[in-house]
């Protein structure tokens, strides 16, 4: 799969490498922002639609907040959907945003852009990259197999935490009572967007669990996903290993007697409010629930806590080095 980014300065590719897509959505997004003409504005939602999904609106705000080149990438041109100017990452905040807009010929009364709809730019040149990623999810979903095909004698867990554009992945392997820890620290060029976690975290899982031959618990969802291809299912198919998703919060579905339904289908089980289990790949829903119950004793599984605590340790170690 290859996508050319619409950036005046350079072309960036979405490259399929070793069974995973390494997606630099930041560069693509900043290229979209640079398309907004002088004297015009756009909104977070307009940019999200140009990426291919309104669900990316919050991510657009985040990427603007860490814009590394505010002079070359004019994030001050991005305003709220009601025409108010909104926040601006500058010591003077909104005052500086208004100053820059007015320098471009945009008039602002109070905190609202005059003639907002007339100067609102939506005509982005874009390939809608999130559309391509949804197509990739559909392709992988067709390969998910929830028939039991696993050996529970080896269990591991993986988690990733973040510090701006760096991710800290840790994998804890319980091999007969001995815990092995694997670590992976990588730059991340894909923000958190609901429904697209695989394109942010799978590269960590691949790095950590590429040669693992047991059952892998993943901090995230499997079948419990808008397109039924959450991180655990995606990783399981791509690595061809048994996986189970264990999420800390319930983001969709309806609950009846602890079972989570999407429509008429059972897709997950709530052990407690911080432990929601859904099958990933090569493990049925029933077996996923039974295994996690055995490991958790009604609580969040210890093996996942170990993985999470190690991601926090890695992050703190990096922060100390930078301070």
Q: Which residues contact 206 (CB under 8 A, 6 or more apart)?
A: 18, 19, 20, 235, 238, 239
List the one residue out of 13, 53, 5, 12 whose CA is nearest residue 33.
Answer: 5
Q: Count the neighbouring beta carbons within 10 Å of the beta carbon of residue 138.
A: 12
β-bridge partners, 270: 276
> What backbone torsions phi and psi does residue 166 show, to the nearest 5 degrees?
-115, 145
- Tell me whether strands 215-218 and 243-247 are parallel, antiparallel or unpaired: parallel
Rg of the chain on CA atoms, in Å: 22
How many angstroms separate the CA atoms of 81 and 83, rounded?
5
Burial (0-12, 13-18, 19+ Cβ within 10 Å), 135: exposed
> What backbone torsions phi and psi does residue 116 show, to the nearest 5 degrees?
-55, -50
List the one residue out of 127, 166, 133 whose CA is nearest residue 31.
Answer: 127
CB 156 within 8 A of CB 304: no
> What backbone torsions phi and psi does residue 306 show, to the nearest 5 degrees?
-60, -45
| The one catalytic residue among 36, 48, 56, 75 | 75
- Is residue 75 part of the annotated active site? The answer reads yes
The tokens describing 178, both together, are 């001995």
How many angstroms separate the CA atoms of 141 and 234, rounded?
7
3-class secondary-structure state, position 231: helix
| Residue 184 half-sphere exposure toward CB, CA atoms < 13 A | 20
Give the active site residues. 75
């Amino acid at each position: 799969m290859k996508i050319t980014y619409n950036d005046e300065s350079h072309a960036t590719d979405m490259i399929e490498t070793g069974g995973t897509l390494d997606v630099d959505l930041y560069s693509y997004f900043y290229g979209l922002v640079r398309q907004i003409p002088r004297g015009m504005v756009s909104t977070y939602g307009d940019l999200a639609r140009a990426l291919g999904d309104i669900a990316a609106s919050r991510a657009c705000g985040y990427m603007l907040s860490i814009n590394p080149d505010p002079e070359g990438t004019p994030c001050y041109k991005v305003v709220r959907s009601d025409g108010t100017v909104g926040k601006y990452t500058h010591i003077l905040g909104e005052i500086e945003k208004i100053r820059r807009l007015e320098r471009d010929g945009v008039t602002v009364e109070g905190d609202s852009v005059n003639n907002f709809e007339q100067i609102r730019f939506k005509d982005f040149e874009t390939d809608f990259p999130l559309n391509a990623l949804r197509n990739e999810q559909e392709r992988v979903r067709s390969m998910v197999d929830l028939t039991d095909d696993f050996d529970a004698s080896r269990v591991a867990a993986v988690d990733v935490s973040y510090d701006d554009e760096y991710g800290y992945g840790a994998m804890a392997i319980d091999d007969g009572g001995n815990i092995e820890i694997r670590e992976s620290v990588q730059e991340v060029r894909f923000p958190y967007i609901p429904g697209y976690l695989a394109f942010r975290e799978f590269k960590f899982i691949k790095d950590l669990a590429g040669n693992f031959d047991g059952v892998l618990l993943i901090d995230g969802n499997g079948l419990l996903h808008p397109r039924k291809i959450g991180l655990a299912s995606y990783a399981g198919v791509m690595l061809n290993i048994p996986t189970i998703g264990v999420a800390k919060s319930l983001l969709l579905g309806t609950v009846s007697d602890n079972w989570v339904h999407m429509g008429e289908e059972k897709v997950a089980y709530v052990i407690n409010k911080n432990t929601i289990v859904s099958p990933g790949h090569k493990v049925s829903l029933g077996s996923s629930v039974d295994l996690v119950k055995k490991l958790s004793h009604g609580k969040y599984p210890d093996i996942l806590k170990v993985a999470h605590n190690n991601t926090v340790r890695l992050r703190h170690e990096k922060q100390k080095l930078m301070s």
